[in-house]
Amino acid sequence: MLSVRLKLMEWLDTKDRLVLLYSHRQPMSSSASPLLPTYATQFKAIRTDLPRILTGKYKAYCNFDIHSNQDHEDGSSRSHSSNNNHHLGGGGGVSLVRTGSFDELWLRPRMYCEFLHTIPPNDPLRHLRIWRDLGLDPFADRLVAVSIPLFINLQDDRTYLQQMELPLLGSWKKNCWIMFPFKSNAFKLSIMYSMEDRNHKLPDGFRVY
């Protein structure tokens, strides 16, 4: 099934990639090391309403440019169309780079949420085997938690849409991230940032393994 999901990621357009990424995922404990690639191994079930939502009236509030369909070797994604949203600028798509070893998924949202919480040295998250596999030193590298919402600037109270988010753990310095279903209420404070404002950090987006 993993090879099928990777092939789907390779063939699908940005909209359908987002459907896969933001579908229901398997719960994990904080001490369980996820399998690579994390964006394809935690899948549980498709949200059958997402394709309709992403092409309906909430398309204008999507945090990604769903018309961005072009993959590039460097992981960047360039849009063929700017019709996705007339009042939200910037943003890109979801690009898959097949490296032959650890395939990379590049995410270029308009905005992301950074939790003001550095993972402490004794936290089980620092002992995950996956960090060594990806070339990170979990004790020397500063690990942070971010969340990428699927929808932003919603004008009405659609709680279930606001809860659609992609939790990532990783390093700003090395731009190395994994999907990990941490509980966001475990972190005290968070701030929403625009990718345009912090473009110097990740000009091509989040590199997710």
Reported as a single tens digit per residue, the pLDDT across 90-135 is: 568 898 887 767 889 999 999 999 887 777 778 888 888 899 899 9
- Structure token pair of residue 18: 């987002």
Q: Return the number of other C-beta atoms located less than 10 Å from residue 111's C-beta.
A: 19
Q: What is the pTM of this model?
A: 0.82
> Where do the structural domains in the chain lie, given as residue ranges?
2-208
Ramachandran angles phi, psi of 5, nearest 5°: -65, -40
Contact 68, 109 (CB under 8 A): no
DSSP element (H, E) containing 21: helix 14-21
pLDDT band for 209, please (50, 70, 90 cuts): very high
Phi, psi of 193 (to 5 degrees): -120, 150
Distance of CA 185 to the CA centre of its chain: 18
Between the CA of residue 174 and those of 133, 142, 206, what are the distances in Å? 14, 10, 10
Per-residue pLDDT for 138 more than 50?
A: yes
Residues with Cβ < 8 Å from 31, sequence gap 6 or more?
124, 127
For 74-91, the pLDDT digits (tens) are 444 443 333 334 334 456
The single-letter code of the amino acid at 98 is R
- φ, ψ of residue 43 to 5 degrees: the values are -65, 140
Per-residue model confidence (pLDDT) at position 155: 74
Residue 183 φ/ψ region, left for φ over 0, alpha for ψ in the -120 to 50 degree band, beta for the rest: beta
The CA-CA-CA angle for residues 13, 157, 112, to 5°, reads 50
Quick: pLDDT tens for 39-65. Answer: 888 777 888 899 999 998 888 899 999
The CB-side HSE value for 87 (13 A sphere, CA atoms) comes to 8
Q: Is 50 helix (H, G, I), strand (E, B) or coil?
A: helix
For residue 191, the cross-strand partners are 114
